[in-house]
Structure 1
Amino acid sequence: MKLSAFLLLLLSFNVSAITADTESAKFSLERLSNSLRQLNFSTSFVVVKNNQAEPYHWLHGIGDNEQELEIFTRLNGPRRDVLRQGKIVSYIEPEQEPYSIISSDVRSPIPSIFRGNISELEESYRFISVGRSRILGRVAQLVRIVSKDKYRFSYWLWLDQKTGLLLKMAVLTRQGQLLEQIQFTHIEVNEQLTDNLEQFQLTELPKVVELTQQQNKALSWQVDWLPQGFSVVKSNQHRLNSHNQGNEKAVEFMLFSDGLVEVSVYVNPSQEKFRAPEYASDGATIVFNHILQGIEVGIVGNIPLATAKKIAESIAPAVIDNVNNNAQGSKGEQQDD
């Protein structure tokens, strides 16, 4: 009886410690979200993958009328800028006419959920507060966002203890293999807007374009399996030029997300009946393609190869209940772990 009481006490202590670590980690992530939305900062970072480093510069601030201002700039190669004034996002790219869209999501190497509602990730990931280390000459808290299943990668974040901002991020497999990382090389937090942002908030952005999609158009194909927590973000049909055949082919597109990771699915008929699976990886990103029974399926996303293969193999003719449910149910199916 004494031994049993001791074991119960030990178990209770371990559960309490795990709960405390989870709550501490979630608090740190919520602080990160607030800092990314509320602080005026100037940072530089590099994305490291495949033994290559891609440098970026990132400016963020709060302008007049509490409007968020943001500038992402890629520093190597042809200049590419992403600009944001509130809910207007502009893309400046070489050999392309500048354009703007209505969105609060800036496409960048930094996952947009980090500035959003962190609780949305709790269905698919565990938050673990590990300890402190020194990054960029600053005291950093290490928080792990760990996948609850084998179908996703995990993310380690080093967060500045003083400001709550991100100092480093690593993407790892379930076995602990490092796939890619983001290392900040400079960070500066200011009370006021920088001169660049002061000037930027007076700048007129390129004309907003409307993103046209085929509304109420039922898709012919659906995804029958997704890891738990994934839901459909959008789906549509479009046509691509087939240069080698001189005609166009219809492609169905579906985009899914679990809040942190996005997976794009492309489906189209093929004159080939079969092609063995082909894939290429770029850091954490997998590009998977195969042809089976005359149907070509492409998968792109930050997921393991086995996950991409399983999604591709689940493509099936759509069962149409109504025109608004043409790609996938609201959540991914429960899977074996």
Structure 2
Amino acid sequence: MKSKTLSILLAFTAMPVLSQQNVEPNSSPELSSEKVIIENSIDEKTTAQQAVTDEKIAKVPTALQWMQRLSYSIRNLNFDSSFVVVKNNRAEPYRWLHGIDEGNDLELMTLLNGPRKESVRVNDNVSYFNSNLHPYTVKADAISGPIPVAFSGDIEKLQQSYDFVSVGKSRILGRPAQLIRLESRDKQRFGYWLWLDVQSGLLLKAALIDRNGDLLEQIQFTHLTITEKSSETLNQLLVAELPSTLIVSQQVPELHWQVSWLPSGFELVNTKRNRLAGINQQVESLMFNDGLVDISVYVSQTSEANRPMTVNQAGATVLLSQLRDGYEINVVGQIPADTAKAIADSVSFN
């Protein structure tokens, strides 16, 4: 329609010069009214097109809305899925199921290769089965495993430490997927790239990226089925005999050391004092969390002399160790090595 309007204007411009000379400016009411009508038509169409564009933009979900939908879908949909965790050229396959049956919230996550490693959740009771440990149950509303608990929790809390960026669409597991990037605000932690299923909002792929944009580890889903009802496998958990719930002491041990620096957003979530089996050595620890990442700091007395710091990394997980002032300090977490060093250096003793 714009080209038609432009042709009309060119037609007026191309009128014979003699005719233009015979007409004084503004002397033809007919010509002036036609020009006003054309200009008003252009303005009206431009306004209408802008309104349509604004409406389309308003309908496009924001990155925050995509993340909120992920959290909702994990907690409310009935699904049966499989995924592979890839790090250090190793692949660990898992099966993950979730369902709601007559108001009961059920979840199962199983490692498919190697010794038994299985987690079961019935409402707010999570039971862990490991071939190397006695099975036990703890009070929790999510399974602690390869899928970060934060993805089904308070998404807005993550915005204190991460910027959410909606990048674009791609195809994962044969399904249209929306890519959302979680970028560290202070560059003291790694970033996450998440591919979410456009149809259901569930996770299809996740990648941990360092500050250079290099891949550290990833989760790739290989199967996803969404159903109206909870699977029979999950429903059987309601009648299964599960381990008794551990009684966790509410008494917080008093430590004679503290961590003086942490990246913004990390909060203390646990304080422990344990003795290592076999060597009867006491180890104290503090655990911090920013909503997505856990950082643990372990401190124990030692008679060894001071030695240079050592750093080991498996995928995105860093283990930094240093000996100083008669103490061994270890920092473990999915954080950059220089962040772990700054945390270890900030440990001070009373």
Q: Could you list the per-position Cα deviations for residues 190-248 of structure 1 after superposition, in whole angstroms to 9, with x for gaps in the alignment?
A: 001112112222223111121236x24321010000001111001122222463xxxx3
Contact 1:22 1:126 in 2 (8 A): no
CA shift, 1:23, in A, is 6.8
User: 2:197 maps to which residue?
Assistant: 160
Contact 1:63 1:201 in 2 (8 A): no
User: 1:40 maps to which residue?
Assistant: 78
User: 2:268 maps to which residue?
Assistant: 232
What amino acid is the match of 2:322? H
Q: Could you list the per-position Cα deviations for residues 151-171 of structure 1 after superposition, in whole angstroms to 9, with x for gaps in the alignment?
A: 100000000000000000000
State the alpha-carbon separation in 1 of the partners of residues 266 and 156 from structure 2: 15
TM-score normalised to structure 2 length: 0.81
Number of residues of Structure 1 aligned to a counterpart in Structure 2: 295
State the alpha-carbon separation in 2 of the partners of residues 288 and 114 from structure 1: 27
State the alpha-carbon separation in 2 of the partners of residues 194 and 101 from structure 1: 24
TM-score normalised to structure 1 length: 0.84
User: 2:235 maps to which residue?
Assistant: 198
* Structure 1, unpaired ranges of 5+: 1-15, 319-337
State the alpha-carbon separation in 2 of the partners of residues 185 and 69 from structure 1: 22
State the alpha-carbon separation in 2 of the partners of residues 187 and 310 from structure 1: 41
**Secondary structure of 1:175's aligned partner:** coil
State the alpha-carbon separation in 2 of the partners of residues 20 and 262 from structure 1: 36
> What is the 5 A alignment of 1:167-246?
167-212=204-249, 215-241=251-277, 243=279
State the alpha-carbon separation in 2 of the partners of residues 120 and 63 from structure 1: 29
Return the match for 1:305 from 316, 330, 337: 337
Q: Could you list the per-position Cα deviations for residues 100-128 of structure 1 after superposition, in whole angstroms to 9, with x for gaps in the alignment?
A: 11111311100001001100011110000
**Secondary structure of 1:98's aligned partner:** strand
Contact 1:90 1:205 in 2 (8 A): yes
CA shift, 1:249, in A, is 2.5
State the alpha-carbon separation in 2 of the partners of residues 210 and 73 from structure 1: 25
**Secondary structure of 1:127's aligned partner:** strand
Return the match for 1:52 from 60, 69, 90: 90
2:139 is aligned with 1:102: yes
Q: What is the aligned-residue identity percentage?
A: 47
What amino acid is the match of 1:290? Q
State the alpha-carbon separation in 2 of the partners of residues 40 and 201 from structure 1: 16
What amino acid is the match of 2:316? A
> What is the 5 A alignment of 1:1-337?
24-64=62-102, 66-212=103-249, 215-241=251-277, 243=279, 248-318=280-350
Contact 2:162 2:182 in 1 (8 A): yes
- Residues 101 and 228 (structure 1), Cα distance of their counterparts in 2 relative to 1, 3 Å cut: same
State the alpha-carbon separation in 1 of the partners of residues 238 and 227 from structure 2: 17
Contact 1:159 1:166 in 2 (8 A): yes
* Structure 2, unpaired ranges of 5+: 1-53
**Secondary structure of 1:97's aligned partner:** strand
Contact 2:286 2:298 in 1 (8 A): yes
CA shift, 1:22, in A, is 11
- Residues 309 and 193 (structure 1), Cα distance of their counterparts in 2 relative to 1, 3 Å cut: same
Contact 1:100 1:208 in 2 (8 A): yes
**Secondary structure of 1:209's aligned partner:** coil
CA shift, 1:136, in A, is 0.3
Contact 1:22 1:127 in 2 (8 A): no
User: 2:16 maps to which residue?
Assistant: none
What amino acid is the match of 1:220? H
- Residues 21 and 266 (structure 1), Cα distance of their counterparts in 2 relative to 1, 3 Å cut: farther
- Structure with the bigger RCO (C-alpha within 8 Å, sep 6+) is 1
What amino acid is the match of 2:334? N
- Residues 298 and 83 (structure 1), Cα distance of their counterparts in 2 relative to 1, 3 Å cut: same
CA shift, 1:255, in A, is 0.2
Shifted more, 87-96 versus 137-146: the winner is 87-96
What amino acid is the match of 2:90? Q
| Runs of 4+ residues deviating >3 angstroms | 19-23
State the alpha-carbon separation in 1 of the partners of residues 98 and 69 from structure 2: 16
State the alpha-carbon separation in 1 of the partners of residues 60 and 265 from structure 2: 19
Contact 2:252 2:272 in 1 (8 A): no
Q: Which one has the bigger helix percentage?
A: 2
- Residues 216 and 143 (structure 1), Cα distance of their counterparts in 2 relative to 1, 3 Å cut: closer
**Secondary structure of 2:329's aligned partner:** strand
